[in-house]
Amino acid sequence: MTSIKIFCIVALSLICAGSLWAQTVGKTTSSADTAQTFSLIPSLDTKLMDRAADPCVDFYRYACGNWAKLHPIPADSPYSDEFYILEQYNLQVLHTILEKAAADNASRDANTQKIGDYYASCAGESAVHQKGLAPLKSELDRIDALTSKDQLPALLAHYQLIGVNAFFALGSDQDFKDATQMIAVLQQSGLGLPERDYYFRSGAKDQEIRNEYVQHITNVLKLLGSTDAQAASDAAAIMKLETALAKVSLDVTSQRDPHNVYHMMPTEQLQALVPTLNWEQMYSATDSPAFKKINVAEPDFFKGLNQIINDTDLATIKAYLRWQLVGSMSGTVLPKALDDEMFDFNGRKLVGTPEQEPRWKRCVESTDGALPEALGKAYVAEEFSAASKEKAMQMIHDIEGAMDQDIDSLDWMSAETKTRAKEKLHLIANKVGYPDKWRDYSKLQIVRDDAFGNNLRAREFESHRQLAKIGNPVDRQEWGMSPPTVNAYYNPTMNDINFPAGVLQPAFFDPTAPDALNYGHIGLFMGHEITHGFDDEGRQFDGHGNMEDWWTKADGEKFTQKAECISDEYSKFSVGDTKLNGKLTLGENTADNGGLRLAFMAYLSRAGKDNIDLDKKSLDGFTPVQQVFLGYAQDWCSEWRPELERLVATTDPHSPDRFRANGALVNMPEFGKAFGCKVGQPMMPAKTCRVW
């Protein structure tokens, strides 16, 4: 668990589900029970383009206008985009690996046995459903046995270990002020709706979601054995409790400032802040190392939590804990009625997905979550070559070189701050493909035909692994994503960028494609992650990962002014009747704008070294410069269900895809020149924004 955001290229809140056809390019993988086969999309897919659209009016439509027609949203997904296509391709690869690993034979090594048996147990749907609520009984019995609030610490500690963050989340993190050390951290948690403002926003749709949520809790409690009347009464009480928690919670925009979530204090001070819970008893029950200080990320929340627990009767707390328990469980280990009910609210009502994805996909995803590096090692062996890693590293070095030049060119930054910025840039660690050292799962027991037990043991294994870090030096070689993940991230306290093998695949990255397309596609992501080190959050950390103001006062003020231009630009975009929150999305939008510029600069440098004629129409009638911008725009080709788009617009630090495409391009005069646009046209405004 981390208390500072890891900045990614794509919204992690998206539900990756469904199946979809993609045109065949390169290698394909299929299996017997896969209805459709996904194939890698080419780096430039001209079939996606709407040539009738004016690139100077709406470049997203020009580059992606046929996406929805060629790649309609499947019934078991809330969206369709290039990330989704690659995710589905990777799921097929992993499915084949796991089907083979699941064959029970004596020749399997330890990791193959674990991933194979975990997957086989999950895929055994009939056995899971036949067991019904029996696997949950011991956990529900813990709640029923509560006779006093004094017993809460032991129960909450156990739930922390199995991933049930009722009321709060306890874990480890780097110390913002000493990035060499791991510390204990306590964060607000315990809400069932996506974000605190869901409990308070006015409007018919917001009230509808709250009503559906209360009914959803009612339905879950009934399935756990409550009478209709008791379930309805408890659901109303739970909603009242969660609303009280939401009222004292820090909102998502405020959480973007690391100073707002860093409050180191002696453990005695936390005990005084929340005297209703015995914290030492809780730490002991989690088997965490002894510690004397803790980062209480949101002190006001915990002050409010103390009052809320005092004011809430034990019966309501027990009902809330039952609800939190089931709501935190993987649907694949729940009986069918509960699994269906959880999907109905979280899938259908929140993001508009009509059908749940096939069980095999959910079990592949669950295995990746439980044993990420055991499964990832097998994925890398099949899908990621040494040549691909070498090419990706070369591109990153090119883009870091472009950032070095970009810093030199800034007319608003002083020499003093430029020196510190370059110092940080040169200290960024580049992680590509997979970890240098694979995680050891020897202490994790996986038992065939015990889907529920395997899931909980995997959760406990990871919780103990995280808690054991407290008081120890930081392991800077550790990864925060599994190798097959279609994403990337920058971590400000590590000052590193991380590109899993899963995203280093077509269409985003293809070593055989023209450099112009690679720099437009994955080059943008590389520049995006590097820029995160210098956005409104990342800039508050130095090259060693410590939270430090290394800017002169004047330069800091100039940065804020330039960032406000980006914030204001994106705040003008709307999803239906919902306006984007430019402050919430500022970091990602800054990274998109900076990343595109860095990728473009790096490509021009690479093209110069390789004697590329930038004016020659070398591919499908497009010049290399045009290919860079087409590659960038096609990263964001997508179709989203309205419910998902609204959810992202209100809770996610990433802007919806179409705004990410056009939003950065309008700030690149080089783009307008490449496509013959005139100043004053929508894609080439007279006023542009630029930070980096």
pLDDT digits (tens, 9 = 90+) for 138-160: 999 999 999 999 999 999 999 99
- Model pLDDT, residue 256: 95
Across the range 355-376, mean pLDDT stands at 98
Percent of the chain residues topping a pLDDT of 70: 96
| pLDDT-based confidence at residue 24 (cuts at 50, 70, 90) | very low
Task: Give whole-number Cα distances, 149 to 105, 158, 277, 435, in Å.
Answer: 49, 15, 8, 44
What's the CA gap between 292 and 266, in Å, rounded? 6
Q: Which residue has the higher pLDDT, 107 or 528?
A: 528
pLDDT at residue 14 greater than cutoff 60: no
- Model pLDDT, residue 5: 60
Q: Which residue has the tokens 């919430």?
A: 584
Q: 621 in the Ramachandran plot: left (φ > 0), alpha (ψ -120 to 50) or beta?
A: left
Tokens of residue 502, six digits: 């899963």
Domain with CATH 3.40.390.10 in the chain: 18-92+370-472+485-674
Q: Which residue has the higher pLDDT, 1 or 405?
A: 405
Q: Which of 16-30, 131-145, 280-294, 334-348 has the lowest mean pLDDT?
A: 16-30
pLDDT at residue 23 greater than cutoff 60: no
Across the range 524-550, mean pLDDT stands at 98
Identify the three-state secondary structure at position 162. Answer: coil
pLDDT tens figures, 72-122: 999 999 999 999 999 999 999 999 999 999 998 889 999 999 999 999 999
pLDDT at residue 506 greater than cutoff 50: yes
| pLDDT-based confidence at residue 386 (cuts at 50, 70, 90) | very high
pLDDT at residue 304 greater than cutoff 80: yes
Domain with CATH 1.10.1380.10 in the chain: 151-329
What's the CA gap between 255 and 563, in Å, rounded? 18
**CATH fold of the domain at 151-329:** Neutral endopeptidase; domain 2 (1.10.1380)
pLDDT at residue 260 greater than cutoff 70: yes
Q: Helix, strand, coil proportions of the chain in percent (round to 5)?
A: 55, 10, 40
pLDDT at residue 25 greater than cutoff 80: no
Across the range 492-518, mean pLDDT stands at 98
Across the range 546-556, mean pLDDT stands at 98
Q: Which of 16-25, 369-378, 403-412 has the lowest mean pLDDT?
A: 16-25
- Model pLDDT, residue 7: 75
CB 473 within 8 A of CB 74: no
pLDDT at residue 10 greater than cutoff 80: no
Catalytic residue list contains 529: yes
The one catalytic residue in 373, 510, 569, 592 is: 592
CATH architecture of 18-92+370-472+485-674: 3-Layer(aba) Sandwich (3.40)
The one catalytic residue in 87, 529, 537, 639 is: 529
Across the range 474-478, mean pLDDT stands at 97
Long-range Cβ contacts of 385-394 (<8 Å, 24+ apart): 387/511, 388/433, 388/501, 388/504, 388/509, 388/511, 389/432, 389/433, 389/504, 391/511, 392/432, 392/433, 392/499, 392/504, 392/509, 392/522, 393/430, 393/432
Across the range 8-21, mean pLDDT stands at 41
- Model pLDDT, residue 381: 97
Across the range 340-364, mean pLDDT stands at 97
Across the range 686-691, mean pLDDT stands at 96
pLDDT tens figures, 601-622: 999 999 999 999 999 998 999 9
| pLDDT-based confidence at residue 11 (cuts at 50, 70, 90) | low
Across the range 578-591, mean pLDDT stands at 96
Catalytic residue list contains 390: no
The overall average pLDDT reported for the chain is 94
| pLDDT-based confidence at residue 286 (cuts at 50, 70, 90) | very high
CB 89 within 8 A of CB 29: yes
Secondary structure element (H or E) that encloses residue 175, with its range: strand 168-175
In this prediction the pTM is 0.94
pLDDT tens figures, 44-77: 999 999 999 999 999 999 999 999 999 999 999 9
The side-by-side arrangement of strands in the sheet containing 489-491 is 7-8, 489-491, 496-500, 429-433
pLDDT at residue 31 greater than cutoff 90: no
